[in-house]
């Protein structure tokens, strides 16, 4: 009989994840957002509505509204903290690196270090069903940027 990996659960709910879940710094709405994208997982009911204010291709304000498990909410909180000040291209690169850090997909030597607090979520790899939770906000980011770029120039 295989022993359940309780030490992996401890890693999964490390202090940084719980802190971001309980005291998310990004829950206030962004005034007049340039990007707003609602990502929903109907299987579990998790939702992240990402909002970004973009000035000259740079994210100057990031926030989200959401509900769901601690992994979804902590990941969205950490993401919005990391996004402020980045260009849209840098945000997309960060999303790619974060996704690779959880899935392990990609070419050998892919840069997945230097993610700061986001590295705490790498423990999710031990629970493949929870990877989607950690990536929900990031999917909103990717889709939101895509929609933003597809809009006609004002």
Q: How many domains does the chain have?
A: 1
- d(Cα 121, Cα 42) in Å, to the nearest integer? 22
Residue 120: both structure tokens together: 């705490």
CATH number of the domain at 119, please: 3.90.1010.10
Q: What tens digit of pLDDT does each residue of 38-55 get?
A: 999 999 999 999 999 999
Is residue 55 a part of any domain in this protein?
A: yes
Range of the domain at 64: 6-149
Is residue 126 a part of any domain in this protein?
A: yes
**Vertex 69: Cα angle to 64 and 72 (nearest 5):** 45
Query: In this structure, what are the phi and psi dihedrals at residue 70, rounded to the nearest 5 degrees?
Result: -65, -35
Strand-pair partners of 66: 48
Residue 59: both structure tokens together: 């994210």
Residue 13: both structure tokens together: 């709910």
2 in helix, strand or coil?
coil
62 in helix, strand or coil?
strand
Percent of the chain residues past pLDDT 90, beyond the cut:
51
Q: What tens digit of pLDDT does each residue of 71-87 get?
A: 899 899 999 999 999 99
Is residue 40 a part of any domain in this protein?
A: yes
* pLDDT at residue 142 is higher than 70: yes
Is residue 1 a part of any domain in this protein?
A: no
Length of the chain: 154
Is residue 154 a part of any domain in this protein?
A: no
């Amino acid at each position: 009989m295989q022993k359940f990996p309780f030490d992996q659960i401890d890693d999964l709910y490390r202090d940084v994840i719980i802190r971001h879940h309980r005291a998310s710094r990004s829950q206030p709405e962004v005034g007049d957002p340039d990007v707003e994208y609602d990502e929903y997982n109907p299987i579990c009911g998790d939702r992240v509505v990402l909002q970004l204010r973009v000035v000259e291709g740079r994210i100057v304000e990031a926030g989200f509204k959401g509900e769901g498990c601690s992994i979804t909410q902590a990941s969205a909180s950490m993401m919005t903290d990391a996004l402020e000040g980045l260009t849209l291209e840098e945000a997309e690169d960060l999303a790619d690196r974060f996704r690779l850090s959880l899935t392990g997909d990609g070419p050998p030597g892919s840069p997945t270090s230097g993610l700061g607090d986001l590295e705490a979520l790498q423990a999710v790899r031990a629970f493949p069903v929870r990877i989607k939770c950690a990536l929900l906000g990031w999917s909103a980011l990717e889709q939101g940027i895509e929609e933003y770029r597809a809009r006609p120039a004002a």
